[in-house]
């Protein structure tokens, strides 16, 4: 009977781990951004470069390893419009583009 109990406990633990892993995968895949945010001193440098480029505003999102450049900094301007500023690894602006924000404005409410 002891041996059977160990198998039951092992099965329950396996089911919990598999279920938790599936939940994590779904939660991770559900987001728009798969790139990690910029952190540390790189965040400070990237934010300063982006705000200098846009002439002000506030940093509202960042991505390291963006598909368009080494870093991407989203800046929300005082008028509410958003701009994505793409930077190379030396924090030099390589491009910028107005962000339509369609995914937030046309959400499923």
| All structural domains of the chain with their residue ranges | 1-31, 40-100
| Beta-strand pair 93-99/71-76 | unpaired
The predicted model gives 58-81 an average pLDDT of 94
Query: For residues 26 and 48, what is the distance between their CA atoms, to the nearest angstrom?
Result: 34
Structure tokens at 32: 């728009």
Fold of 40-100: SHC Adaptor Protein (3.30.505)
Confidence band of 107 (pLDDT split at 50, 70, 90): very low
pLDDT in tens, 81-98: 999 999 999 999 999 999
Instruction: Name the residue with higher pLDDT: 4 or 66.
Output: 66
What's the chain's length in residues? 109
Supply the DSSP string of 36-78, one letter for each residue: PPP-HHHHHHHHHHHHHHHTS-EEEEEEES-SSSSEEEEEE-T
- Nearest CA-CA partner of 72 in 39, 38, 28: 38
């Amino acid at each position: 009977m002891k041996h059977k109990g160990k198998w039951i406990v092992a099965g329950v633990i396996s089911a919990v781990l598999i279920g938790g892993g599936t939940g994590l995968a779904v939660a991770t895949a559900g987001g728009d951004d798969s790139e990690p945010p910029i952190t540390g001193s790189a965040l400070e440098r990237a934010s300063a470069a982006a705000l200098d480029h846009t002439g002000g505003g506030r940093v509202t999102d960042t991505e390291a390893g963006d598909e368009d450049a080494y870093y991407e900094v989203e800046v929300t301007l005082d008028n509410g419009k958003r701009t994505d500023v793409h930077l190379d690894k030396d924090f030099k602006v390589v491009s910028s583009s107005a962000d339509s924000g369609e995914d937030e404005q046309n959400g499923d409410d």
